[in-house]
Amino acid sequence: MNREDLLKVTNEFGSPVYVYDADKIISQYKRLNEAFKKVKHLRLHYAVKALSNLSVLRLFNELGSGLDTVSIQEVMLGLKAGVSPEKIIYTPNGVSVEELEKAVELGVQINIDNLIVLEQFGAKHPEVPVCIRINPHVMAGGNTNISVGHIDSKFGISIHQMPHILRIVENTGMHINGIHMHTGSDILDIGVFLHAAEILFDAAKNFKDLEFLDFGSGFKVPYHSNDIETNVEELGEKLSIRFNEFCKDYGKELTLAFEPGKFMVSEAGQFLAKVNVVKQTTSTVFAHVDTGFNHLIRPMFYGSNHEIENLSNPDATQRFYSVVGYICETDTFANNKMINEIREGDILSFKNAGAYCFSMASNYNSRFRPAEVLWYKDKAHLIRKRETFEDLVHNQVELKFDLNKKQSLEKEKV
């Protein structure tokens, strides 16, 4: 997509609007496959939570990808998109037994990260194959908001609780067919990831009937032109050698699985917003756009950086701007950033808006959620309509009040 294409999207579908480049999604999927081409059995499960639009899920299904889901609703979305149950792994955290029972009914691969739940489930469904999520106690990315494999994380069963796991498996006779870990996002140090992989290999030795090892994901993507990213080619080379060695020692060809989300869709997405007003104060020039953290919360929630480009004025001199939203909260997208001169009506593009952006959108301040567009084969395809007022009130039930009548009745009693 070039600048003119993006401006055409806003002209056709309005703003704000999310736009995703199908070619970039496809190339990222192929890149990861190529990095692990020396592994005989590779399975990629796209992490639905990153971007859950049905059309995007259908695209991954066409590519041959499975899905990583964390809720029964994501499982249902995957099935509706045409993904077969055996290609869906369901890794919930802290859900009810009833939700796990629903997953059994739907026939997806279940991944359990709680000792008590493991014992309850194994006692009731010993015949259902189960994957176990291990917490390797390895910090990835250096940010506890997005690193989920450290010792204080709520995710996974501690690697130090392996004796408890084995006791439960033996007592229930349940079938463990996979071992899983996910250290978190923004992995840069491949050595740290390989260290965590060794912990998973050691855990896997305790189970004789495994079918796959799932290494999660969390690969870092670049957020600006000179940013660093995970070298997935180097990781593929090193981990493939070690994985193949493990399979030889294990005596069986296992499947190597990953669950990439951000890696697949982050760079494919752009969020386009229109400048409502430019406001000069005693210290700052604010560019107010027709959106806020109701549509893109990551900068406020995670402190994430989304490069901002003025599509409408590409050749203008750069000035310092603070880009802010229209929400009745502090919703600052960027503080004192150099951006080409901004005028009212200009269209700004927020980069890396494919992952965890629309999926975190809300109706805060009773604002409508934006449209989504997929750029596919040099054409813009609407894949989610912009919400309307009717959508906003659709599920609300109006309660009728007659306070005056109540007051009159109270007077009669007196």
Sequence-separated (6 or more) residues with CB below 8 Å from residue 397 = none
What three-state secondary structure class fits 61? Answer: helix
How does 89-108 read in b/e, with b if 16+ C-beta sit within 10 Å? bbbbeebeeeebebbeebeb
Give how far Cα 251 sits from Cα of 210, 254, 370, Å.
11, 9, 52
**Catalytic residue set:** 328
Please state whether beta strands 109-112 and 130-135 pair in parallel, antiparallel, or not at all (unpaired): parallel
Residue 372's CB: how many other CB atoms inside 10 A? 23
Would strands 285-289 and 269-280 be described as parallel, antiparallel, or unpaired? antiparallel
Return the closest-CA partner of residue 88 out of 98, 102, 97, 96. 102
Burial class (CB in 10 A: 0-12, 13-18, 19+), 332: middle
Closest CA to 245 of 204, 193, 192: 204
Strands (E), 243-307: 255-258, 269-280, 285-289
Q: What whole-number distance in Å separates Cα of residue 103 and Cα of residue 378?
A: 38
DSSP symbols for 108-166 = PEEEE--HHHHHHHHHH-TTS-EEEEEE-----TT-TTTB-SSTT-SSSEEGGGHHHHH
Q: Which run of H or E residues covers position 201? A: helix 190-204
> Which tokens go with 62?
């066409």
Rounded-to-integer distance, Cα 245 and Cα 264, Å: 28
Angle between helices 54-63 and 72-80 (to 10 degrees): 70
Please compute Rg for the chain using Cα positions: 24
Contact 80, 54 (CB under 8 A): yes
